Amino acid sequence: MKKGNKVTLKLGILICDHVNKLLQGEFESYPKMFDDLFSSVEDNLDVKYYFVIDDQFPKNINECDAYMTSGSQFGANDDLPWIKKLIEFIQTLYHADKPFIGICFGHQLIAKALGGKVEKSTKSWGVGVHTSKIISQKNWMNKDFQEFNLIVSHQDQISQLPTGAEVLASSEFCPYSMIQVGNHFIGLQGHPEFTLKYSESLMEVRKDRISSAVISKGQKSFLQPLHSKDVMQWLFDFLNYRKSL
């Protein structure tokens, strides 16, 4: 199917969590967040959502041209059946040369699935807006950027890269904030789909786990400009480039 002169990209989003019940009235769901972001970035898109957290997986990897994950309150090392199944699915995608983008939890699962390691950060929680410096500029990135700002919300992060992984960007908090493995896997620790309002609300409901000092620092970081749409456009350009091969 084509829209204009571009072939429509069929993208499968692997949903790895549900919005906290206390926040569903205002923020609804993660698919809604992705829809809002996608509508402002890419119009040649056919999106299908799979709630892998509820054991809803694609029956065949060729149902979509590419896949992407949401984040999750769960950890890559958690001993849960759906996470084990998702790791196996990611391994299948990798060996089949199927394009995949891991967001936050999915970023960490790339490492876990391909032989790297994921551990809790010694710096506690990463919340608010973090700046990542671009280490390796790719042709699908905007060359005017030397760094980018994204909302983050994580305690786990990649501590050891899988074999063959290339670091594309690094932050002070997270040394491997964006990686590429092969020519078809991208991992991104930040959340382009999150809004500042959602980030602040998420910190509020997690204040029993996140110190007041960390939350205060995260809230102050909201003064920085966000590059969510820019980074998501890069990811779509990466996927469209892969689809054209």
Encoded amino acid at 98, one letter: K
Convert the pLDDT of each residue in 1-10 to its tens digit. 334 456 789 9
Q: What is the mean pLDDT of residues 217-228?
A: 96
Name the residue with higher pLDDT: 42 or 143.
Answer: 143
What digits encode the pLDDT tens for the residues 15-28? 999 999 999 999 99
> For residue 240, what pLDDT is reported?
85
Residue tagged active-site, from 16, 64, 104, 174? 104
In the chain, pLDDT over 70 holds for what percent of residues?
Answer: 96
b/e 108-143 (16+ beta carbons within 10 angstroms → b) = bbbbbbbebebeeeeeebbbbbbbbebeeebebbee
Catalytically annotated residue among 42, 107, 184, 193: 193
Structure tokens at 172: 């002070």
Instruction: Find the mean pLDDT for residues 69-96.
Output: 98
What is the structure's pLDDT at 231? 97
* Averaged confidence pLDDT in the chain: 95
Does the annotation count 193 as an active-site position? yes
- Out of 107, 130, 184, 191, the active site residue is 191
Average pLDDT in the 73-95 region? 98
Tell me the three state secondary structure of residue 39: helix
pLDDT score of 43? 76
Q: How far are the Cα atoms of 125, 157, 167, 170, 182 from residue 134, in angstroms, in the given order?
A: 22, 18, 9, 7, 18
- Quote the pTM value: 0.94
Closest by alpha carbon to 187, among 91, 103, 75? 103
pLDDT of residue 3: 43
Q: Phi, psi (5° rounding) for residue 106?
A: -70, -35
Q: Which domains does the chain have, with CATH numbers?
A: 2-244 (3.40.50.880)
Q: Apex CA 75: angle with CA 73 and CA 78, to 5°?
A: 125
How much is the pLDDT for 4?
A: 47
Is 64 one of the annotated active-site residues of the chain?
no
Torsion of CA 23, 24, 25, 30, to 10 degrees: 110
104 catalytically annotated: yes
Tokens of 38: 């996608």
